[in-house]
Amino acid sequence: MTRLAVVPGDGIGPEVIAQALETVTALRIGIEFDVLDHINAGTFLRTGVALSEEDFTRIAGCDAVLLGAVGDPRVITPAYARGVLLSLRSRLDLYANVRPARLLHDDLSPLRDRANRGIDCVIVRENTEGLYGGSLHRMSGAEVAIDIEVSTARGVRRIVEHAFSLARRGMCMVDKSNAVPSGGALWQRIWRETAADHPNVATYHLFADVAAMRLVADPTEFDVIVTNNSFDDILSDLAAQIAGGLGTAASANVNPDTGFCLCEPVHGSAPDITGTGTANPVGAILSAALLLEHLGYGSEAKAVRSAVDRAVAAGHRTPDLGGSLTTQQAGSAVRAEL
Amino acid sequence: MTRLAVVPGDGIGPEVIAQALETVTALRIGIEFDVLDHINAGTFLRTGVALSEEDFTRIAGCDAVLLGAVGDPRVITPAYARGVLLSLRSRLDLYANVRPARLLHDDLSPLRDRANRGIDCVIVRENTEGLYGGSLHRMSGAEVAIDIEVSTARGVRRIVEHAFSLARRGMCMVDKSNAVPSGGALWQRIWRETAADHPNVATYHLFADVAAMRLVADPTEFDVIVTNNSFDDILSDLAAQIAGGLGTAASANVNPDTGFCLCEPVHGSAPDITGTGTANPVGAILSAALLLEHLGYGSEAKAVRSAVDRAVAAGHRTPDLGGSLTTQQAGSAVRAEL
Ligand SMILES: CC(C)[C@H](C(=O)O)[C@@H](O)C(=O)O
Ligand SMILES: CC(C)[C@H](C(=O)O)[C@@H](O)C(=O)O
């Protein structure tokens, strides 16, 4: 039996995860949930431990993880987010962060030009290296701060290759090789080598600043974008917004070699609306769909996605999408379409 | 007499700079131009030198610089851009890159919601530190690429203070302190200290990914954004796009202490349209206006900006703005409004 570790986390995390779990349960495919609801900012503030060894072992022993949100205004330092989310990504070597951005309904697009609204791309983020992964974090006399950005040939190659495996129409590599010399050169070299192995995919390259611009100018040009940890952090939130807002964006953190994956909505813990019952459950529900797909339940995943499309098209929406449903009602509306 | 160094640069650089110079000349304020049109990719490819010592001395001896664009598809490596633009920024210590994003006309906005279209903000970029400025660029056996991101207390403080000097309605500091530990902590600390000295300005903080999202969701919320070199590179191009496209965006690289400044359009050398006569001169003309302002010609700067507004409103536009004028015609249309 498939065992799913569930980390609801902070803020609206538990609220949206509840809807995702109810939706998975409604599919009656017998996935067992192992809920770790003590992993949150409250525990961290009390104990100083973000993720205990025991919890890590319990999570690693499952087949996959569904995570709500990690973050709390009381812990703005990186210790907590790094301790939970970044540490799971790195210890489980979930090197591919796959973030689909697909417009669910025309009226959700912030873009004026009708022809440009239909974003339907996948942003593939290197998830274990880059500016987040450096091991040197030093401040000399508190006056100079140094962070290091690391890229390895192995790390770049495996993420670029995974991105190619997802390409349908084309592949765009994003870097800043005109200004960031070492990483830029490595990404360029591996990119050219890997692209040569995929002569049938239309490939191109953009600098990170230009990519951000083009995502607004005409997002329909993109199919798959692959880039490093930091650039993709920004570009994928941007793409989510262009696809109708952060409330509906889902992501999968995957190790394509082991098959292990951690899925989570792209939104954060949203302390401003926590407890109001207005959080959008769609990001969490679509994250569950990504997870089902990775666990081999492809047709169930598709059913969930279609149910979401129909519910949103019918106007069953939370306030962020212009509706007035509660989190619970929006979740039920999706399940009613299953 | 004010002496202006002019570096037309590559691609469409010379085409748009010609219009900017004609516009400044039309003001009859007696600024002398020292044109260095040999600084370009062709020279670099022939000689291996991006910027000679002689040229540097000549530029540094002027009161300010107007630059077109630096970049060429034949030199994708950072050596050339770093050698000209980044080296001028750093050797002249032009630590503040000031990029206003203002919608020139409602119909240029890519945003659907009328209420959100009127972006009018200034993005202040730390221009001498960060991921571009590191001195360690090492590759061991070509398998690991390391770049370093440097932030100093002095560097962060002076850029944050300059940003406060520009604030009208509010100040937003952007970082990624939840993931990038050293620089994040330093920016947070200096930010809190500096903000405490400005109790009358509404201040807030956003993570870089969230800032990108919010610029699309509702750019009217922003007045001044201050952030580091890399984040601002991306966010300012994004803001330019939301303000109607890169063709109209201007920027000033300033040292507020010495008063020296280098102004340049935000767009690049645009090899795809070079020589077609369709490049938009507005970014270069507005860069000249920024420069005039810094040189003490405030009313002339204002006159140029108003002339641009009127010309664009009257439909005198190049193809990127939906018009059919040539670069030369669009420049003349602005001058006709002076
Ligand atoms: C050419 C490049 C190095 C430069 C930068 O990123 O600084 C450009 O994109 C800019 O923003 O002025
Ligand atoms: C919480 C933060 C460290 C995280 C990241 O940047 O990786 C988040 O923004 C994300 O994108 O998943």
Active site residue A175: no
Per-residue pLDDT tens digits for A133-143? 655 555 555 58
Chain pair A-B, CB pairs under 8 angstroms: 203
Per the prediction, chain B carries an average pLDDT of 94
Q: Which tokens in the block code for residue B15?
A: 């085409």
Interface touch A150/B148, C-beta < 8 Å: no
Q: Give the mean model confidence (pLDDT) for residues B96-123.
A: 96
Query: Of B250, B284, B218, B303, whose CA–CA distance to B123 is shortest?
Result: B250
Cβ-nearest to A148 among B77, B148, B209: B148
Interface of A with B in 250-309 (CB under 8 A): 268
Question: How far is Cα B291 from Cα B31, in angstroms, rounded to an integer?
Answer: 11
Nearest atom, ligand 1, residue B236 CA: 11
3-state secondary structure at position A97: strand
Average pLDDT over residues A87-112: 95
- Domains in chain A, start-ordered, CATH in brackets? 1-98+249-338 (3.40.718.10)
| Max avg pLDDT among A207-216, B69-78, B82-91 | A207-216
> Which pLDDT band holds residue A77 (cuts at 50, 70, 90)?
low
Q: Do A113 and B110 touch (CB under 8 A)?
A: yes
Alpha carbons B236 and B119: distance in angstroms, whole number: 12
Tens-place pLDDT, residues A167-219? 999 999 999 988 888 899 899 999 999 999 999 999 999 999 999 999 999 99
pLDDT tens track for A272-284: 999 999 999 999 9
- CA dist., res. B249 & res. B245, Å (int): 7
CA B69/CA B12 separation, integer angstroms: 7
Where residue A74 falls among pLDDT bands split at 50, 70, 90?
A: confident
Laid out side by side, the sheet with A202-207 consists of A32-35, A3-9, A64-69, A261-265, A250-254, A96-102, A120-126, A224-227, A170-175, A202-207
Question: By the 8 A CB rule, do A329 and A22 touch?
Answer: no
Rounded-to-10 torsion of CA B51, B54, B55, B56? 80
Interval between CA A101 and ligand 2 midpoint (Å): 16
- pTM across the whole model: 0.94
pLDDT tens digits for range B20-52: 999 999 999 989 999 999 999 999 999 999 999
B147 lines ligand 2 (CB under 6 A): no
pLDDT band at B282 (very low <50, low <70, confident <90, very high): very high
Mean pLDDT of chain A: 94
pLDDT at B139 over 60: no
> For residue B59, what pLDDT is reported?
97
Q: Average of pLDDT values for A67-83?
A: 84
Task: Give the dihedral sign, CA B184/B218/A247/A278.
Answer: positive
B209 carries an active-site annotation: yes
B88 touches chain A (CB under 8 A): no
Query: How far is CA B172 from its chain centroid?
Result: 18
> Can B237 be counted among the known catalytic residues?
yes
Q: What b/e readout covers B5-19, taking b as 16+ CB neighbours within 10 angstroms?
A: bbbbbbbbbbbbbbb
Confidence of residue B179 (pLDDT cuts 50, 70, 90): confident
Indicate the residue of A110, A152, A212 with minimum beta-carbon distance to B238.
A212
A184 touches chain B (CB under 8 A): yes
Kindly state the tokens that stand for A20: 């995702």
- CB A62 near ligand 2, within 6 Å: no
In total, chain A counts a number of residues equal to 338
Q: Does B119 contact chain A (CB < 8 Å)?
A: no
pLDDT over 70, % of chain B: 96
The helix (run of H) or strand (run of E) holding residue A35 is strand A32-35
Contact A55, A88 (CB under 8 A): no
User: In residues, how long is chain B?
Assistant: 338
**A282-294 vs A13-26: helix axis angle to the nearest 10?**
50
Question: Which 3 state secondary structure label does DSSP give B39?
Answer: coil
Checking if the pLDDT of B142 tops 80, the result is no
Half-sphere exposure of A173 (CA within 13 A, CB side): 28
CB atoms under 10 Å from CB of A223, counted, come to 17
Q: Which amino acid is at A305?
A: R
